[in-house]
Amino acid sequence: MDLQLTGKRVLVTGGTRGIGRAIVAGFLDEGAAVGFCARNPEDTSAAQQALSDRGHVTGTVVDVGDAAALEAWVERSAQDLGGLDVVVANVSALAIPDTEENWLASLNVDLMHTVRLVRAAMPHLERSDAASIIAISSVSGRESDFASGPYGTAKTAIVGYIHGLAMQLAAKGIRANTVSPGNTYFEGGVWSSIEAGDPDLFNAAVELNPTGHMGTCEEIARPVLFLASPAASRVSGANLVVDGALTRGIQL
């Protein structure tokens, strides 16, 4: 299937590792021009260099928890790319323990960075003929699990926010969808750390997966690309769960 992403202008928050990097790589392979951001200068530079042979890609050092910095990045990127067609809010603070600091981090980074990204991009998306907003939530936002609390609550809020956007923006031809990954394994990621630090939790999580294994970043990125593309022109307001049948609740 031709996803019709050639020449599309895309922004992705958190593109140096894991799911975010796979999303950036996927858009590049489909012929899109991509700008991504991350906090670490060395990682950002290395990712841009590694991905540069796949297409037009620009990495920028941005802390998405800084509202002014995020807005400035969106504006500069739109100018450099000549507009915006797709934005993907991917960054998470991954703040799981139930502490005051983690509640503030989850609400500011996970939820408010999504809201601020959309607000900053909106004038540019309104000028696109294929505008799409994607937010990365989690199965922890759909049902209670070990990550309920700051992380899970913020992820639930993201689904609600994006669904509301879909209704509000439909008349403008702007689509908004959420992708909720299940357990996703990659070196240096949260499950890699849990595997080393808490093998009992890791093994229990693997046993819960009907497939017998966790997902890969590429398996999450592919549905993101589809939902972001003109090929999914009639899909808006969806929360696409990508978890290998991990979650038990029926999504009505």
CB 215 within 8 A of CB 244: yes
Catalytic residue from among 106, 128, 138, 229? 138
Q: Which residues contact 37 (CB under 8 A, 6 or more apart)?
A: 11, 12, 13, 14, 15, 44, 59, 60, 61, 62, 64, 70, 73
CB 206 within 8 A of CB 185: no
CB 61 within 8 A of CB 39: yes
Is residue 172 annotated as part of the catalytic site, yes or no? no
Of 92, 93, 83, 81, the closest CA to residue 35 belongs to: 81
CB 28 within 8 A of CB 9: no
Catalytic residue from among 77, 128, 132, 137? 137
Beta bridge mates, 166: none
Bridge pairing between strands 86-89 and 175-181? unpaired
The per-type count for the chain, helices as H runs and strands as E runs, is: 9, 7
DSSP 141: G
Catalytic residue from among 155, 180, 229, 236? 155
Q: Which amino acid is at 223?
A: P
Catalytic residue from among 132, 151, 161, 185? 151
Say how far apart CA 70 and CA 80 lie, in whole Å: 15
Is residue 151 annotated as part of the catalytic site, yes or no? yes
Residue found by looking up tokens 């920028």 in the block: 60
Catalytic residue IDs: 137-138, 151, 155
